[in-house]
Amino acid sequence: MDLFLPNVAGSLCEEFSDFVLYDHVNNSILVNLEDKYFGIVFRELKKLRYKMIFSTRIQKSNSITCTFIKV
């Protein structure tokens, strides 16, 4: 297992959110982002070969909760 990429992906998510959960067994990340940061995080995680498998928008807080998994 390449430990470098999950650390980079996790650090990226932590830079834009205070709410990040990791599942090291399945190489997945659950993150809650403000709308304005979603595009940046999505593009950068895509470069690291993460794919978004779930997302939901919370209108009241203008945020998106997403699950990304390493492919």
- At 42 the pLDDT is 96
- At 5 the pLDDT is 52
The predicted-structure confidence for 50-64, as pLDDT tens digits, reads as follows 999 999 999 999 999
What is the crossing angle of helices 35-47 and 4-16, to 10°? 170
pTM here? 0.85
Closest-CA residue to 68 (of 15, 13, 18): 13
The predicted-structure confidence for 10-66, as pLDDT tens digits, reads as follows 899 999 999 999 998 888 999 999 999 999 999 999 999 999 999 999 999 999 999
- At 62 the pLDDT is 92
Domain ranges across the chain:
4-70
Closest-CA residue to 20 (of 5, 44, 41, 1): 41
